[in-house]
């Protein structure tokens, strides 16, 4: 099996269950509060481990004990954490997450120590990139470092997966040219391309815009509608599995981790997307970020029980 390297953020998630997400100027009462391991990078690395991948994680945490709790969770999923940077300059990243009755959320991230997952740190650990086959990154840590790691990995023939979340105003074409798979959700695709997302044609036009600008292949995640795949020769829609929704936090992270694991196992991209839809549909039916990520056995059983899609 191929080796996966995930680079990205580590956060402690402060999860507030609310009746409805507060409007501007509004105060609402929370129905429950939980402190849980999160961060887009950590969630994706954890998902890779839980789904059976061989995975190493590069990230930065504070010397405050909070990051250590997340790393303990990583190790329970057999994620290699030996290169994690610890800094006393700032505290471990935090995210305040409001989850409403329908399972939708809004998130504010305090990056903290994630700012130390920078270019210098990543280039000091370029041997970890040398040792991997697949690099999976998001943009919740300084983007200059991520873009350098992507360039370094691409030059060495690694498969690069970029999940553009949170989404910057733009991503330079020369970065897209180093990316094999870019995996925006609809909001991110809209921000990156300006295309309309209220019809399949608009989504397709957005994906084609990213292809023209240099991305190798595009997978757009569509929430309850599943995912759309687009490359130079075809566009295909993969419907989501119908599940009761508890909390959509880390749906995208689970999806990206699952894509990386499936590619590491040598699956084709269509099979990888079906697997990722199944893994992330299980994640939305549970609460929290890492707490919602299913095991490989659970995903295999789910797909088996439902007889494929």
Show which residues are catalytic.
253
Shortest distance, position 138 Cβ to ligand RIB, whole Å: 8
Site for ligand ATP in 134-173 (CB under 6 A): 165
**What does 112 interact with, of ligand ATP, ligand RIB, none (CB < 5 to 8 A by kind)?**
none
- The span of 10-18, 31-39, 80-88, 244-252 binding ligand ATP (CB under 6 A) equals 244-252
Q: Is 109 in the site for ligand RIB (CB under 6 A)?
A: yes
**What does 11 interact with, of ligand ATP, ligand RIB, none (CB < 5 to 8 A by kind)?**
ligand RIB
- Residue pair 11/92 in contact (Cβ under 8 Å)? The answer is yes
Q: What is the dihedral of CA 223, 184, 169, 5, to 10 degrees?
A: 130
Residue nearest to ligand RIB (CB): 38
Q: Is 221 in the site for ligand RIB (CB under 6 A)?
A: no
Alpha carbons 214 and 197: distance in angstroms, whole number: 21
Shortest distance, position 64 Cβ to ligand RIB, whole Å: 16
Give me Rg for the CA atoms of the chain. Answer: 18
Of the residues 223, 265, 286, 296, which one makes contact with ligand ATP according to CB under 6 A: 223
Of the residues 53, 252, 288, 294, which one makes contact with ligand ATP according to CB under 6 A: 252
Both tokens of residue 249? Answer: 């936090």
Closest CA to 279 of 306, 71, 203: 306
Task: Tell me which residue has tokens 């010397």.
Answer: 63
- The span of 33-41, 115-123, 197-205, 258-266 binding ligand RIB (CB under 6 A) equals 33-41
- The span of 18-26, 81-89, 245-253, 260-268 binding ligand RIB (CB under 6 A) equals 245-253
Of the CA atoms within 13 Å of residue 270, those in its CB half-sphere come to 6
In Å, the largest CA–CA distance within the chain is 52
Of the residues 251, 259, 260, 264, which one makes contact with ligand ATP according to CB under 6 A: 251
Both tokens of residue 205? Answer: 């036009």
3-state secondary structure of 13: strand
**What does 223 interact with, of ligand RIB, ligand ATP, none (CB < 5 to 8 A by kind)?**
ligand ATP
- The span of 12-20, 85-93, 224-232, 298-306 binding ligand ATP (CB under 6 A) equals 224-232
Shortest distance, position 124 Cβ to ligand ATP, whole Å: 30
Q: Is 39 in the site for ligand RIB (CB under 6 A)?
A: yes
- Residue pair 294/282 in contact (Cβ under 8 Å)? The answer is yes
Of the CA atoms within 13 Å of residue 23, those in its CB half-sphere come to 0
Q: What is the 3-state secondary structure (H, E, C) of 165-213?
A: CCCCCCCCHHHHCCCCEECCEHHHHHHHHCCCCCCHHHHHHHHHHHHHC
Phi/psi of residue 62, nearest 5 degrees: -85, 170
Alpha carbons 289 and 238: distance in angstroms, whole number: 23
Quick one: 68 or 223, whose CB is closer to ligand ATP? 223
- The span of 68-76, 78-86, 118-126, 246-254 binding ligand ATP (CB under 6 A) equals 246-254
Query: Residues interacting with ligand ATP, by CB under 6 A?
Result: 165, 185, 221-224, 226-227, 240-241, 243, 245, 248-253, 255, 277, 280-281, 284
Contact residues toward ligand RIB (CB under 6 A) are 9, 11, 13, 38-40, 43, 95, 107, 109, 140, 249-250, 252-253, 289
């Amino acid at each position: 099996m191929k080796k996966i390297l995930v680079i990205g953020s580590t956060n402690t998630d402060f999860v507030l269950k609310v009746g409805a997400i507060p409007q501007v100027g509004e105060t609402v009462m929370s129905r429950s509060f939980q402190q849980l391991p999160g961060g887009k990078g950590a969630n994706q690395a954890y998902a890779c481990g839980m789904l059976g991948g061989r995975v190493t994680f590069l990230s930065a945490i504070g010397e405050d004990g909070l990051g250590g709790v997340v790393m303990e969770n990583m190790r329970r999923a057999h994620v290699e954490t030996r290169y994690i940077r610890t800094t006393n300059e700032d505290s471990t990243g935090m995210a305040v997450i409001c989850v409403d009755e329908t399972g939708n959320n809004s998130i504010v991230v305090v990056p903290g120590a994630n700012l130390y997952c920078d270019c210098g740190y990543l280039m000091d650990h370029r041997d970890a990139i040398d040792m991997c086959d697949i690099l999976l990154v998001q943009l919740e840590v300084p983007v200059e470092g991520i873009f350098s790691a992507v360039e370094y990995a691409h030059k060495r023939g690694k498969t690069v997966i970029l999940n553009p979340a949170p989404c910057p105003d733009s991503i330079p074409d020369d970065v897209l040219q180093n990316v094999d798979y870019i995996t925006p959700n609809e909001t991110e695709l809209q921000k990156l391309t300006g295309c309309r997302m209220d019809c399949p044609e608009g989504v397709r036009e957005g994906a084609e815009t990213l292809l023209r600008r240099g991305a190798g292949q595009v997978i757009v995640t569509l929430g309850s509608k599943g995912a759309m795949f687009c490359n130079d020769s075809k566009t295909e829609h993969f419907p989501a599995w119908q599940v009761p929704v508890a909390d959509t936090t880390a749906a995208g992270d689970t999806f990206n981790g699952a894509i990386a694991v499936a590619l590491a196992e040598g699956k084709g991209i269509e099979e990888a997307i079906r697997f990722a839809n199944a893994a992330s549909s299980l994640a939305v039916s549970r609460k929290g970020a890492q707490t919602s990520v299913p095991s490989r056995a659970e995903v295999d059983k789910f797909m088996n029980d439902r007889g494929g899609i």
